[in-house]
Every structure is written in C-alpha cells, then in structure tokens.
Structure 1
Amino acid sequence: MGKKKLRGIGQDYSEVKINVNIALTPTAKKILHERAVEHSCRSISDLVEKWARGEIA
C-alpha cells in the first residue's frame, strides 16, 4: 500500500519537493517517460530525483 501524502512532510526523502518548470519537446518527454517506466519510477519527476541523487545512472 502507498504512503499517505501529508502537507509539509517529505514522502520519499527527508525534505519536501519543490516545483521546477522546464520546457521539453514532446519527444524528450516521451523518452523520459519511457526511462521512468524502465527504472520503475512513478513519474518523470521521480526519475530526475533519483538520477540527481545518484540512485540510477
């Protein structure tokens, strides 16, 4: 069963995520979504977070 979201409390890490806007082509978005599925990530955001933390290459 998944974790319940609580405002102001990090769901996966000890800190709360912030919104960051980036512009991508539809092709890049599709590729990132495919990579997220390959790495069993819940979203593109989750993929980027794990990549930035060195959890995936």
Structure 2
Amino acid sequence: MTREEIASIAGIKLSTAEKIIRSFQQSGLVTGRYRGIVVLDMPRLREQAELA
C-alpha cells in the first residue's frame, strides 16, 4: 500500500501518516519500498496499534 492509501483508509492526513510510518521505520516495524510499505514485525506492530 502507498502512504496515500494508508492515510485515506485511516482517515488521517498524509503528513500524519508519514510521521507515524517514519516512527515505525525507526522502530524496525516496517520498511519503505518504492510506492509501498512492507511490514517486518507484525506482532510488534499490532502491539503498537493497541497502545495507541
């Protein structure tokens, strides 16, 4: 999925989605690819989502 698609589905601004994705990348949960995001650690990503 692209950052734009993620923002649209989540109902948030693109800039907010980019900030969240950047923090997930720094935590090693996801990696950015050309026009997409790849989840590296789904269990930890779910934990982070539950904390939010």
TM-score by length of 2: 0.43
Greater percentage in helix: 2
Between 1 and 2, higher relative CO (CA 8 Å, sep ≥ 6) is seen in 2
Greater percentage in strand: 2
Bigger Rg over Cα: 1
